């Protein structure tokens, strides 16, 4: 992801769906983050990162695996995708450039 951010010199939307070992949030959460600078720290150091990570949506899933509550997991991912759609629509109206990866 660091190389994409450097190469594009743009914001990257990152949907983190790994409940057990998330990249930029605490375990048990689905998050949609906008990454503005390369992330060079280990994931556990990024939980409170405010300078290069902007949280757009965060949903608690009550466990560190989707099997704990699969319906809540799917709904959380859907909600995060909806958050991305709203965010990208807002960016398009403002003329901002955001590249998404999943």
Distance linking the first and last C-alpha atoms of the chain: 11
Confidence of residue 13 (pLDDT cuts 50, 70, 90): confident
Residue 45: pLDDT band with limits 50, 70, 90: low
pLDDT score for 98: 47
Region 68-82: mean pLDDT is 95
Instruction: For residues 25 and 92, give the distance between their C-alpha atoms in angstroms, rounded to a whole number.
Output: 26
**101 pLDDT higher than 50:** no
User: Residues 62-79: what's their mean pLDDT?
Assistant: 94
**What domains sit in the chain, N to C, each tagged with a CATH number?**
2-101 (3.40.50.300)
Q: Is 19 or 41 the better-scoring residue by pLDDT?
A: 19
Handedness of CA 31, 33, 37, 38 (dihedral sign): positive
Looking at residue 88, what is its pLDDT? 84
Contact present, 53 and 24 (Cβ < 8 Å): yes
C-beta separation of 34 from 88 below 8 A: no
Q: What is the mean pLDDT of the chain?
A: 80
Q: Which of 31 and 94 is assigned the larger pLDDT?
A: 31
Query: Is the CA virtual torsion 64, 66, 72, 75 positive or negative?
Result: positive
Write down the pTM of the prediction: 0.76
């Amino acid at each position: 992801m660091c190389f994409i951010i450097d190469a594009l010199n743009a914001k990257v939307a990152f949907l983190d769906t790994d409940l057990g070992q998330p990249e930029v949030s605490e375990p048990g959460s689905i998050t949609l983050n906008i990454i503005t600078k390369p992330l060079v720290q280990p994931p556990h150091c990024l939980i409170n990162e405010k300078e290069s990570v902007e949280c757009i949506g965060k949903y608690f899933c009550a466990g560190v695996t989707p099997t704990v509550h699969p319906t809540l997991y799917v709904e959380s991912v859907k909600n995060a995708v909806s958050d991305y759609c709203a965010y990208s629509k807002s960016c398009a109206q403002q003329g901002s450039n955001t590249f998404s990866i999943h």
